[in-house]
Amino acid sequence: MNIQDVHSYVCGQWIGSDSTAREIHSAVTGELIARAGASHLDVGAMLEYAQTKGGPALRKMSFHDRARMLKALALHLGQHKQALYDASFATGATQRDHMIDVDGGIGTVLVIASKGRREMPNDTIYLDGPVERLSRQGTFLGQHVCTSLTGVAVHINAFNFPVWGMLEKLAPTLLAGMPAIVKPATATCYVTELCVRIMLDSGLLSEGAVQLVSGNLGPILDHLGGQDVVSFTGSAATARKLRSAPCILDNATRFVAEQDSLNASVLGPDAVPGTPEFDLFIKEVQREMTAKAGQKCTAIRRIMVPEAHIDAVSDALRDRLSSVVIGNPADEKTQMGALVSQAQRRDVLEKAALIGQEAERIFGDPDDFTVHGADADKGAFVPPMLFRCNTPDAAQTLHAVEAFGPVSTVMPYRDLDHAIELANKGEGSLVASVITHDPEVARQFVIGAGAFHGRLYLNNRDSMKESTGHGSPLPHMVHGGPGRAGGGEELGGIRGVMHYMQRTAVQGSPDLLTRIGKKWVPGATEARDRAHPFTRTFHELEVGETLVTDPREISLDDIETFAHFTGDTFYAHIDEAAASRNPFFPGRVAHGYLLLSFAAGLFVQPDEGPVLANTGLDNLRFLKPVQAGDSIRVHLTVMQKTPRNQDYGEVRWHVSIRNQEDDLTAEYELLTMNAYAQPDPAG
Ligand code: NDP
């Protein structure tokens, strides 16, 4: 059989393994299939290449450029999925498992890319939060900004997700403008290598954005500094060793860790046998135990059920687990493949034996089970193993030792507080779930257990058809957990990008902050000498340009007409005596929505032009009542411009409505879509 030489990609070159390479065996047949690792990688050159080529090329691109690159990359990978599936069977994974790893990885990149385009500016500076007013007159303000770190992100990944594990870290890193050195776990690095080859062959990645180390990482961590980031997924023992490296400690190098996690799933007190929740719970637990043969950092390790129903749950789980077909992952009928390696099999059996000291195994005998289409002795197969512990308060191991395979323990709880106490005994996990239809149970669980878990997954009859599964980290939501789970956090939309950027508090005048963030700040200069902004194309408009309208007096008749036309006859607008008794109003006042409508009437230029649509309004505040006899006038200022597609972009306008005294009566941000070109009447 052909033994693959898994390469590393270093300073723009593919480099093969050498005599120090480690051997990789098929999880299914036990055959030697690949070698990976080279001792002669020049780590200094790799870091310099990333810092001098990768970083600068990425930082020249705006967030939107990087997001477009990621989207194209994901679409390209989507065209090569089959090759990734084919390579992945030897890791022991089934086609269903590939969907989690390969399709899940590609989907994650697409979501991060889309969020980058929608939630980040077309710029290289990201504004974090609102402007802070630091002075009485508003001439000195504060704004938090985020800029790309100038070092390199070193990603050390676990064996269980060779594609998703790389992409879920890579997408936020590249969007942040940071180059990465990816170090996959050796056991499955041949799949990651293929994925990197596909990405590089596309020609879509900017130079130096990604390097790959297959096999041993070498001494890279000894050369990292304060601008670098290590993002690690794996065991707590390795995390401890790596994060305490002197160089990491001395330079306060950021270290993000996802490690062991004793995830819990709780059957709600209301979810008695016969309810849809009970059946849902059994399905979720079985799926989480057997997907990826339990080699998921988010798999359910501890199953907590009301003591009255522990027999029913145990029986139902045994029943479902007994129908799981274990075998050759390439066979379509197989529901659970092999563990990744014989070493992992030994590890899982050792850990299961430890759990067996505190709990009784009620399903799955590793010495007696059927493997279909593969040799049970040569492949790294184990059966699903379900344990039952009737005394979970006294137990230690099953709350602390993670058997990284299809191993889980069912245990009884007395009441919800007890369930929370047991769930929290894991001392920090990536996810805990509660299957309940009772909103009060959900709330009490979130209050009692939130601090111990990175994600809480709640499911019931209302959400089960569309729910994404206890074990699926989603790019929109944070993935990570406190304590034993590593104290790290990844993903969570744009939050995940921030691990690779520096947040800086910037203080200065409105004009300086406007220029820095390319977003107009109240108090900054208003350019008032331009043509009406509705006549100017997206590209012609400049941040800060302002239209100040003529005044318009509000009459009692206006208020009456508006009230009866819209049906908004709220007493404060039509009943003088009642309005006067209201502490907020001096008497009858104009409707806030009347002010908005009249404001539009004042600032709109009605002719066909580049403004295509009004798409929304943010941060509306009514600040001072307007009465009949007052007059209002509007300042309409271009606040921010964000390209949306090849034809138009979004303009955020700052709108302030002032009365005859120049007092602010209302303020908001208006969103419009504006064309890049003037309309063509002939077209
Ligand atoms: P390891 O901690 O052994 O390895 C994780 C990664 O770290 C691999 O890429 C590994 O590379 C690398 N690594 C190991 N030692 C070093 C070192 N000295 N310097 C640099 N890199 C190093 O975990 P495994 O992947 O073997 O998984 C073991 C256990 O980790 C599982 O049984 C499970 O308990 C836990 N785990 C937790 C996950 C989570 O997200 N919570 C996910 C996956 C695993 P190499 O493969 O080359 O040794």
Give residue 100 CA to ligand 1 midpoint distance, Å: 19
pLDDT of residue 32: 96
**Whether residue 535 has pLDDT greater than 90:** yes
As a whole number, the mean pLDDT across the chain is: 96
Ligand 1 atom with the smallest distance to the CA of 296 is 42
Give residue 238 CA to ligand 1 midpoint distance, Å: 6
CA distance 258 to 473: 12
pLDDT of residue 39: 85
CA distance 293 to 329: 10
How sure is the predictor about 523, in pLDDT bands with cuts at 50, 70 and 90? very high
Ligand 1 atom with the smallest distance to the CA of 261 is 41
Spatial neighbors of 547 by CB under 8 A, at least 6 apart, are: 528, 532, 533, 603, 634, 635, 636, 637
> Which token pair is 547?
């239209």
Which of left, alpha, beta for 74 (phi over 0: left; psi -120 to 50: alpha)?
alpha
**Whether residue 634 has pLDDT greater than 70:** yes
Q: Which residue has the least CA distance to atom 40 on ligand 1?
A: 297
pLDDT of residue 41: 86
pLDDT of residue 528: 92
Give residue 599 CA to ligand 1 midpoint distance, Å: 61
Ligand 1 — pocket residues by CB below 6 A?
156-160, 183, 185-187, 217, 233-235, 238, 241-242, 258-261, 297, 347, 402, 404
Give residue 235 CA to ligand 1 midpoint distance, Å: 5
Pinpoint the alpha helices (H) of 159-309: 164-176, 189-201, 236-243, 246-250, 276-290
Pocket test for ligand 1, best of 159, 247, 430 (most atoms within 8 A of CB): 159
Give residue 665 CA to ligand 1 midpoint distance, Å: 59
- Count of residues in the chain: 683
Given a contact cutoff of 8 angstroms between Cβ atoms, the answer to whether 59 and 177 are in contact is yes
Pocket test for ligand 1, best of 24, 182, 232, 235 (most atoms within 8 A of CB): 235
Ligand 1 atom with the smallest distance to the CA of 344 is 32
Give residue 489 CA to ligand 1 midpoint distance, Å: 17
**Whether residue 683 has pLDDT greater than 80:** no
Give residue 158 CA to ligand 1 midpoint distance, Å: 5
Ligand 1 atom with the smallest distance to the CA of 184 is 9
CA distance 112 to 494: 8
Instruction: Note the pLDDT tens digit of each residue in 57-83.
Output: 999 999 999 999 999 999 999 999 999
The one-letter amino acid code at 244 reads S
User: Burial of 419 by CB count in 10 Å (0-12 exposed, 13-18 middle, 19+ buried)?
Assistant: buried
Q: Which residue has the least CA distance to atom 5 on ligand 1?
A: 234
Q: Which residue has the least CA distance to atom 15 on ligand 1?
A: 238
Would you list the DSSP string of 614-636?
EEEEEEEEE-S---TT-EEEEEE
Q: Which residue has the least CA distance to atom 28 on ligand 1?
A: 235
Q: Which residue has the least CA distance to atom 41 on ligand 1?
A: 259
Given a contact cutoff of 8 angstroms between Cβ atoms, the answer to whether 70 and 173 are in contact is no
Give residue 234 CA to ligand 1 midpoint distance, Å: 4
Lowest mean pLDDT among 424-428, 608-612, 642-646: 642-646
Q: Please report where in the chains the tokens 């898994």 appear, as a residue.
A: 6
Q: Where are the beta strands (DSSP E) in 367-421?
A: 385-388, 407-413
How sure is the predictor about 680, in pLDDT bands with cuts at 50, 70 and 90? confident
Q: For 94-100, what is the mean pLDDT? A: 95
Pocket test for ligand 1, best of 161, 183, 238, 288 (most atoms within 8 A of CB): 238
Q: For 226-253, what is the mean pLDDT? A: 94
Ligand 1 atom with the smallest distance to the CA of 22 is 47
Pinpoint the alpha helices (H) of 295-415: 310-322, 342-356, 397-400
DSSP type of residue 102 = I
CA atoms within 13 A on the CB side of 226: 4
Instruction: Note the pLDDT tens digit of each residue in 152-201.
Output: 999 999 999 999 999 999 999 999 999 999 999 999 999 999 999 999 99
Backbone angles phi and psi of 192, in degrees to 5: -65, -40
Lowest mean pLDDT among 1-5, 438-442, 668-672: 1-5
Given a contact cutoff of 8 angstroms between Cβ atoms, the answer to whether 124 and 502 are in contact is no
Cα 317–Cα 320–Cα 325 angle in degrees, nearest 5: 135
Give residue 157 CA to ligand 1 midpoint distance, Å: 7
Cα 65–Cα 69–Cα 73 angle in degrees, nearest 5: 170
Cα 210–Cα 211–Cα 215 angle in degrees, nearest 5: 140
DSSP type of residue 406 = S
Ligand 1 atom with the smallest distance to the CA of 238 is 2
pLDDT of residue 338: 97
Q: Which residue has the least CA distance to atom 32 on ligand 1?
A: 404
**Cα-based distances in Å from 543 to 90, 519, 582:** 56, 7, 40
Ligand 1 atom with the smallest distance to the CA of 259 is 41
Instruction: Note the pLDDT tens digit of each residue in 482-512.
Output: 999 999 999 999 999 999 999 999 999 999 9
Q: Where are the beta strands (DSSP E) in 414-516?
A: 429-435, 453-459, 478-479, 490-491, 501-508
Which sequence positions are flagged as catalytic? Answer: 258, 297
Max intra-chain CA distance, the chain: 93
Instruction: Note the pLDDT tens digit of each residue in 349-398.
Output: 999 999 999 999 999 999 999 999 999 999 999 999 999 999 999 999 99
Question: Coil, helix or strand for 638?
Answer: strand
Q: Where are the beta strands (DSSP E) in 99-193?
A: 126-133, 141-148, 153-156, 180-183
Q: Which residue has the least CA distance to atom 29 on ligand 1?
A: 235
pLDDT of residue 682: 79
**Whether residue 1 has pLDDT greater than 70:** no
Give residue 242 CA to ligand 1 midpoint distance, Å: 11
End-to-end alpha carbon distance in the chain: 64
Ligand 1 atom with the smallest distance to the CA of 217 is 20
Given a contact cutoff of 8 angstroms between Cβ atoms, the answer to whether 398 and 392 are in contact is yes
Q: Which residue has the least CA distance to atom 47 on ligand 1?
A: 186
